[in-house]
Chain A
Amino acid sequence: MMRIKTVLAGLAFMALSVPMAQAQDLPLKAFFGHYQGNGIAESSDSLYFGVTMRDMDVVIEPSAQGFFVTWTTVIRQGGDPNNPDIRRKGTEIEFLPTQKPSVFKSSTARDPLDGGQLAWARISERTLVVYLMTIDETGIYSVQSYARTLTGEGMDLVFRRITDGQSTREVRARMVKVAN
């Protein structure tokens, strides 16, 4: 009887220990690498104007004190369907450690009320989330979040833009790791 109880207790502990191990935040270096892929963007007016395709390139690499996230997005939207108009957007931000474990702040953060941008990042389990916050000249805020979750072949990206509490854009993309 005792042996059965011991086996059951052991099985219960093993079953519980798996989710506990998964819940741990990955170290920053687990995200370092070069990733490429593409995704689909939906906005609040997608019902009328359709979705847009975009190609993405992300590099996450160490800096002297923290890490850099550099990303480029190529948006194909409008124009001739066989030869759509192309826009390219690139961003590079350095993040530094804070006193909070798994939370990082931008090295160039400025008061968003004075036209600056607040940027911070956090690691939650297998996901690195980067936030950018701005306030426009009428006082309306916008928070963009890039949640990059590690997968077996690279990472999944979910981008959201919230403007004054409303979700105004969402992009979902799948990326492959092309270099360390």
Chain B
Amino acid sequence: MIGRPTRALVIALALSWAPVLAQAEDRPISDFFGHYVGSAMAKTEDSRSLGFEMRDLDVIIEGAEPGGFVLSWTTIRGRDGDKDAKRKTRTMFFKPGVAPNIFGPETQGDPAKGEEVAWSRIDGDTLYTYLMAVNERGDYEMQMYSRQVTKDGMALDFERFHDGERTRKVSGKLKRVED
């Protein structure tokens, strides 16, 4: 027999947990499809200077058969249109992986040959993308992009690790735009 106060407590606890449980469900990849633009602050782990700079960002995520997606992102360092602005664009295709929330490239790279290991995963409302490479000296570099769907668009965090130590962090907000 459960008394009335106990039952009320159980219901209150269940209600307080409900949003957490709802958040824990992974979004389908189609929820991330769209065109996003915004800016971000890049911070270098260098105590000798303030070490930050602004960047403009452009991200496009679109569906690709069979059940995968194409991720394209552009980073502009310096003012777009300026002569010395640096623009870098990267496009990658990810196909469904071994689990519903995991995606991998068409062919995985071999780090021993200087190639990249890449994959993506969805956790809740965030799409994570990882790029790992081993350099000439045998150190490894890991780049992690986390792209969280928000009401207006996307929250981006990028971290670069060199041999396990974080060397760069970029955080930004992007708005969803109509093409």
Contacts and interface: CB of A to CB of B under 8 A. Distances in A.
Contacts of B130: 141
A164 B143 CA distance: 10
A145 B108 CA distance: 22
B140 A131 contact: yes
Given A113-B98, A113-B102, A165-B166, A139 B121 contact: yes
B98 A137 contact: yes
A120 B114 CA distance: 12
Interface in B93-126: 97-99, 101-102, 104, 108, 110-113, 117, 119-121, 123
A93 B101 CA distance: 31
Contacts of A115: 98
B97 A120 contact: no
Interface in B128-175: 128, 130, 132, 134, 136-140, 142, 144, 159, 161, 163-164, 166
Interface residues of A, number: 34
Task: Choose among A99, A120, A135 the residue with the greatest number of B CB atoms under 10 Å from its CB.
Answer: A135
A113 B119 contact: yes
B138 A129 contact: yes
Interface of A: 98-100, 102-103, 105, 109, 111-115, 118, 120-124, 129, 131, 133, 135, 137-141, 143, 145, 160, 162, 164-165, 167
Interface of B: 97-99, 101-102, 104, 108, 110-113, 117, 119-121, 123, 128, 130, 132, 134, 136-140, 142, 144, 159, 161, 163-164, 166
A-B pairs, top 9 by smallest CB distance, nearest first, are: A122-B138, A139-B121, A105-B112, A103-B138, A162-B164, A139-B102, A111-B108, A113-B104, A98-B112
